[in-house]
Amino acid sequence: MKQREYYFDNAKFILIFFVVFGHLLRTFIEENEVIYSLYKVIYTFHMPAFILVSGFFAKSFRKKGYVIKVAKKLIVPYLVFQTIYSFFYYFLYHKPQITIDPLDPHWSLWFLISLFFWNIMLYGVARFHWKYSLTITLMAALFIGFFDSISNYLSLSRTFVFFPLFLLGYYLKKEHFYHLLNGKLRMAAGVIFLLVLVGFYLFPNLDYEWLLGSKPYAEMGVDSFTAMFTRLGVYGLSIIMMACFFALVPTKRYFFTNLGRNSLYVYLLHGFFIRLFRVSEVKNYFSDVESFLLLAVISLSLTLVLSSKTITSFAQPLIELKVSNTKELIMKLLWYVRFYRTKRWNH
């Protein structure tokens, strides 16, 4: 791997860490204003940046077999985990029946189906000049909020709202990212992050749901044309925060760099731990800012574990429907069986 490519793997690992961290913080946003402000800061950039990077790596969409490849990578695991989550929620929340609806994505699975749609939509808009295609998609994203029927169904709301960011990533080149990597911009980025955090704390009026892009304007209590300007302001803030984030991403190789390529594994698997955490008594031990710092450590640990070679080798059949190294997987299974038997024997 060339050194300049470490940058994007580092970015993906850091972003997936913020995904996990943000989902853990969600449990406490009603209880602590600092946590609520931090939560909104994270949501201004972490998924927008993931979407931007996804668009950046979609430049080969015109290659033969691209659609089939993307469908296997996204739709197949989406259907698998949509089914798994249906059973998981049935037992976790003691629901009266198991409901499997492939058209209504569970929780974080929206990203997979939206990402598939974004790749398909490139065939229609990428033929135009970037100015026209970005303008068209931006206008569609602003007006889509007036349609009350477009929400979580097939993740249509998020698909339209975030598509301009995906398209922007498609048009960007590596040079655009590397222009951000200078000392002055990095210092400014850190200051901007701090200012936005303070701003959210002092002026907490912006509802975090504006950052999710999942609901029509009416559900957020605004159905006038001023809602479009609010959404436009959110776009502007997200672009600034993404630029700040990418300015701070390290370019060298670290112990976590290669794990950035396993971000999809973390994204699909961490939800089980988050949901268990939210219904458990463990969350009651987090009550002040100092203890919330421990959540960052837990998030990092969970990200490292779920992106590790051991976990990905076990989860690969579910996520990619293949086994890269069958022999290695069998040896690991045998090792765990022997370890379990030895432990039982000793007890």
pLDDT of residue 1: 45
pLDDT, tens digit (0-9, with 9 covering 90-100), for 155-188: 999 999 999 999 999 999 999 999 999 888 999 9
SS3 of 179-231: the string is CCCCHHHHHHHHHHHHHHHHHHHHCCCCCHHHHCCCCCHHHHCCCCCHHHHHH
- To the nearest whole percent, how much of the chain has pLDDT over 90? 76
pLDDT of residue 276: 95
Between 130-143 and 226-248, two packed helices, what is the crossing angle to 10 degrees?
130
What mean pLDDT do residues 92-115 have?
A: 92
**Per-domain residue ranges of the chain:** 3-307, 320-347
- To the nearest whole percent, how much of the chain has pLDDT over 70? 92
Q: Burial of 160 by CB count in 10 Å (0-12 exposed, 13-18 middle, 19+ buried)?
A: buried
pLDDT of residue 279: 92
Assess whether pLDDT exceeds 50 at residue 144: yes
- Closest Cα partner for 165 from 144, 188, 141, 195? 141
User: Looking at per-residue confidence, does 213 or 342 come out higher?
Assistant: 213
Assess whether pLDDT exceeds 60 at residue 139: yes
What mean pLDDT do residues 261-290 have?
A: 90
pLDDT, tens digit (0-9, with 9 covering 90-100), for 228-256: 999 999 999 999 999 999 999 999 999 99
Question: Are 307 and 252 in contact, with CB atoms under 8 Å apart?
Answer: no
pLDDT of residue 290: 74
Residue tagged 């850190």 (tokens): 190
User: Looking at per-residue confidence, does 289 or 117 come out higher?
Assistant: 117
Helix count (H) and strand count (E) of the chain? 13, 0
